[in-house]
Amino acid sequence: MAADGGVARQAELRRIEGNACFYKARFGAAIDCYTEAIALCPDVAVYWMNRGLCHFRRKDWAKVEEDSRKALALDDTLVKGHYMLGCALLRKEECALAIKELEKALDLLKSSNSRDKMAEDIWEVLAKAKYLDWEKHSTQRVWKIQNLKEACENALQEHHFLSGTLTEDSVGPTNEYSEQRKLLSEVFTNAILADTPGDVPDYLCCQITFEIFRDPVITPSGVTYERAILLEHLRKVGNFDPVTREPLKEHQLVPNLAIKEAVQAYLKEHSWAYRSN
């Protein structure tokens, strides 16, 4: 027992030393300290985490992945661990896996109830991952649908050719072939509609930022805003509702859960909307 306590204390001293180096941005030295701490006590998640953070700052992604996996194996509730692993996976373009880690990080952060800059960072990477994931899949989807469209058009033409109704330039009132071709083209346009980037509907966007909502709050006037920007408005511009100019205080704001769900449903179908400028 006594020996164990001594080892643990020594490892802890290494960690403190490592932290000091880390804050001076001497990441190489910090890595050495944490490596020693790990050698002494390999079961302490924080040592792996901190070393991972050093690699993170040095953008050494393979090592970030390695250390954050070790840390998470010891403690699955480390927000930063999931965040770092998510970033490392995104580098490897393993979008789906990255999204899983980043969402886990956000969930953990939400339950810990701390509203710091971390949530912003995680969300930004998550949005990037979702967008990349969409880009990858949508290209494939659109390509497949395009091929199917061509095949269908050819089949339709062949069908009409064989049944002798292929009268493309006829002006008769019921030109079945050209009508069917038009309809077919419409069907396929609709099939890729959700994968076609466009404008997010106004009702899902904040009237101050013009961006899609993330944390919508509703005022007593019934207008919904993005929470962060509205708080900034109350702090910097004045205590009034920006659209109606009714008096407004922070405690009157209520989360608009319905809009939040609508945004989530919209993003699920239109992942291109994750793109930020």
Partner 1 sequence: MVASNPTRIEEAKSRLLWPSLRLLPSLPQEPKRTMTSSSTASRKALSKIACNRLQKELAEWQVGPPAGFKYKVSDNLQRWVIEVGGAAGTLYAGETYQLQVDFPEHYPMEAPQVIFLNPAPMHPHIYSNGHICLDILYDSWSPAMTVSSVCISILSMLSSSPAKQRPQDNDRYVRNCRNGRSPKETRWWFHDDKV
Distances, alpha carbon 46 to alpha carbons 7, 15, 51, 59, in Å: 16, 9, 8, 19
Shortest distance in whole angstroms from residue 201 CB to partner 1 = 10
Decide the pairing of beta strands 224-226 and 254-255.
unpaired
Question: Whole-angstrom Cα distance, residue 167 to residue 170?
Answer: 5
87 or 223: whose CB is closer to partner 1? 223
- Whole-number Å distance between alpha carbons of 91 and 128: 11
Task: Find the shortest distance in angstroms from Cβ 232 to partner 1.
Answer: 6
* Nearest CB to partner 1, comparing residues 113 and 277: 277
CB-wise, 182 or 235, nearer to partner 1?
A: 235
Structure tokens at 81: 């661990």
Site residues, partner 1 (CB under 8 A): 202, 205, 207-211, 229, 232-233, 236-237, 240, 242-245, 276-277
C-beta of 230: minimal distance to partner 1 in Å?
9
Q: Closest distance between partner 1 and the C-beta of residue 120, in Å? A: 12
| Cβ-contact 83, 122 below 8 angstroms | yes
| Token output for 186 | 């419409």
The whole-angstrom distance between residue 91's C-alpha and the CA centroid of its chain comes to 14
- Residue 252 C-beta: closest distance to partner 1, Å: 17
By C-beta, is 104 or 227 nearer to partner 1? 227
CA–CA gap between residue 91 and residue 257 (Å, rounded):
33
Indicate the residue among 105 and 206 with the shorter CB distance to partner 1. Answer: 206
Nearer to partner 1, 103 or 211 (CB): 211
Query: Angle at the Cα of 174 (from 168 to 178), degrees rounded to 5?
Result: 35
At closest approach, how far in Å is the CB of 126 from partner 1? 18
List alpha helices for the chain, DSSP H. Answer: 2-23, 27-40, 45-57, 61-74, 79-91, 95-112, 117-162, 176-191, 227-236, 257-269
